[in-house]
Structure 1
Amino acid sequence: MIKKICIVIPSLIGGGAEKNALLMASELSALGHIVTVLYFYKAHDNFDFNNQIDFICIGKKNNPVADIINIRKAIKDYRPSCVISFLDVINIYTYFAILNIRGIRFIANERSNPFEHLPKQRFGSFKLALLGHVYRHADKVLSNSKFTANQLVNKFKINSNKVDFLYNPINIEGETSSLREGGKILAVGRLSKEKDYPTLLKAVHHLVNKLKLTDFTLTIAGKGPLEDELKQLAVDLGIVQYINFIGFSNDIPSLMRSHDIYVLSSLYEGFPNTLLEAMSFGMAVIATDCVSGPSEVVIDGKNGFLIDINDSKSLAIYIEKLLSNRTMRETFAHNAINSLNYFSFEAYVKKMRNFF
């Protein structure tokens, strides 16, 4: 049966949630449904829009009441049978926007772990309580990790039948590269607190000064509020010659093809897409066993290493193990590629269809 479906997202600027929303919109359209995407910010030129999907910019007023009214007006004009929203604030807005409009099925997508980041925000406890109310009254709640799905059920007291997880899909490249010559480490992500780059830089210091390893470089791709602080830390630790801060990169695949080891040093994640991508490109990976996601991807000692958060010494030791053992790197890379079928586009689409 053909349905009219409305997807609500904050913007089209290319983040993981936005990409996931557009993939869902594209696949639902391919199934024959009529899909409209509502967004607040101007579209990014890099998005390849499906011409079967209507995109409507409703404009952000920076006022919750006005934003909710705009969503409600657009939805009442469109008259969908199903509304799907992405990210916690938009999930809250959309819930109140469709309140008392009959005949609409509401699916909320939680693409991070709200129990990690919301308590750190102003009025975080109130936002968390409000989000719990919204999710308990949604028809379906989707998260991007099994761990977060379980937390939503247990902490928000939601009926477990209403909650499921849908991993962010990736293209499984299934490749190794002749460009890899050893000694090249890569980290990708916003230069912000949750990525815990200080621990990674301290691990480099430990590699150089304690393990006496100097034949390597670390490339960090990303921008963010801690950029100056991290560069100064590299100076203070005396490791500047080993670190390349390259800023934002539009060509992460090329970086992954030309580096040997991928490190994710995060304190917490929503779901680490870059970790999956690195594994798909045949990189050996080391990740912190943080909330949430890495332990659902990495099988410690088989397709990568999992370590405790904030443990720079252990991180240095495992980097040294991989740098000094090409056979181990290649074994991890081979096992990683073979373990990713569950995260493929095909698996994503197959599971997504069960919700509609």
Structure 2
Amino acid sequence: MKKVKILFFIYQMGGGGAARTLLNIINNLDRSKFEPYLVTLNFDGSYEKELKDDVKFIKLDTKRLSRSILRLAKIIKEEGIDVAFSTIPRVNTIAIIASKLSFSKVKSVIREADNLGGSLRENMQLLGFGMVYKTSDQIVSLSEGVKANLVNRYKVKPERIEVIYNPVDLNSINDKVEHGKIDPEHEALFLTDDKVIITAGRLVEQKDQRTLVKAFAKVNNEISSRLVILGEGPLKEELMELARELSVLDRVHFIGFQSNPYSYFTKADLFVLSSKHEGFSHVIAEALATGTPVVSTNCKSGPEEVLNFGEFGALCDVGNDEQMAGEMLKVLSVSEQERLQIIEKGYARARDFDAKQIVKQYEQLFLSTLSKQ
């Protein structure tokens, strides 16, 4: 049987959730049926070294998405690609156009990963993306909430959208927890009687670490605690200043991006997500997989689905530091027996997103899309 050639296109294999999702899909594809290609712009990404050796990796000689269209179309044509898969709106539009310009039989599958929109300008932009999306062969949303957003803001018909949750590579996470080590300079952060609260994500408006820092200050007034923040971004200085104003700067630790965050998660007492919006929230499922209890904002639209309306972790309102602090204190104050029960439930929930299971859904989707006329 001829293998299906699938080309994955993303601007870079950086440290974000989209790149991590592609990595998990690519590495777990059934090699007896599929032949994976990866195309990126001319950037170096932290996940590149985690790709399996048999992936045909092509890096374009440009850092501009707009200049990648013809190059991508040429690769699709010359390599005889059967399915072109992409994620993130601007990347999706480029992939769709390149597929058309390849003048081949390639099928275009795009994935929408977040709840975008809100302002008039943003909503008009999404309508533009939606017009291009409608010319693709298949659309994937990573949660029911994202699907609803595609229908409402992009004006895409619901029957054209398939919901597939993010794949979480449990084998890889378990291996990194078991054999990975945290940086020696960070070990002292966890050798403490304090409660250790951890978060991970870019230091940007969407992730709203301001609310988390405010909530942490309230928690620290009740229980001696430390906050460890994994991630980099433009708001670091502002967040440090806020921590200084709240007299907790010595207890808030910014340690940057970590290629193995799971070794950090598993040593913490609590993981907190403070985002204003998410598509799925990969990192919550990963935290559960490391045995770390979770508190998250009930932002649109992923956390509610991952945590099943609060069954597998606590939810609080977006931007409400008082409520967030209350939920954090509840989790940090449970008995050891209750904590173990929370951890076991988290492990069970994480298995629902196991990459082996989720990637099979993607494989079925790719094959069914190829069979469409």
Greater Cα shift, 71-80 or 83-92? 71-80
Matched, 1:189 2:201: yes
Asked if 2 retains the 8 angstrom alpha-carbon contact of 1:179 and 1:258, the reply is no
CA distance in 2, matches of 1:19, 1:204: 28
Asked if 2 retains the 8 angstrom alpha-carbon contact of 1:39 and 1:59, the reply is no
Give the C-alpha shift of residue 180 in structure 1. Answer: 9.3
CA distance in 1, matches of 2:159, 2:257: 40
Structure 1: gaps (5+ residues): none
CA distance in 2, matches of 1:253, 1:39: 26
Greater Cα shift, 160-169 or 139-148? 160-169
Give 1:334's aligned residue.
344
Identity %: 27
1:217 counterpart (226, 230, 245): 226
TM-score (structure 1 length as normaliser): 0.88
Give 1:56's aligned residue.
58
2:164 counterpart (148, 151, 166): 166
Matching residue's letter, 2:316: I
CA distance in 2, matches of 1:29, 1:347: 12
Matched, 1:103 2:111: no
Structure 2: gaps (5+ residues): 179-189, 368-373
Give the C-alpha shift of residue 133 in structure 1. Answer: 0.9
Give 1:21's aligned residue.
22
Give 2:42's aligned residue.
41
CA distance in 2, matches of 1:229, 1:304: 29
CA distance in 1, matches of 2:26, 2:265: 28
Following superposition of structure 1 onto structure 2, how do residues 297-336 of structure 1 map, counting pairs within 5 Å?
297-300=306-309, 302-326=311-335, 327-336=337-346
Asked if 1 retains the 8 angstrom alpha-carbon contact of 2:281 and 2:302, the reply is yes
Asked if 2 retains the 8 angstrom alpha-carbon contact of 1:322 and 1:328, the reply is no
The superposition leaves residues 229-285 of structure 1 with CA deviations (integer Å, 9 ceiling, x where unpaired) of 000001111122332222222331221121111111111113212211111111111
TM-score (structure 2 length as normaliser): 0.84
Matched, 1:128 2:126: yes
Give 1:257's aligned residue.
266
Asked if 2 retains the 8 angstrom alpha-carbon contact of 1:182 and 1:260, the reply is no
Aligned pair count reads: 348
Matched, 1:350 2:360: yes
Give the 3 Å change call, closer, same or farther, for CA 15–300 of structure 1 in structure 2: closer
> RMSD of the TM alignment (CA)?
2.7
Greater Cα shift, 285-294 or 212-221? 212-221
Matched, 1:289 2:298: yes
Matched, 1:11 2:12: yes
CA distance in 1, matches of 2:263, 2:309: 26
2:287 counterpart (249, 267, 278): 278
CA distance in 1, matches of 2:310, 2:74: 53
Give the 3 Å change call, closer, same or farther, for CA 301–80 of structure 1 in structure 2: closer
Matching residue's letter, 1:113: N
Asked if 1 retains the 8 angstrom alpha-carbon contact of 2:11 and 2:65, the reply is no
Give the 3 Å change call, closer, same or farther, for CA 159–221 of structure 1 in structure 2: same
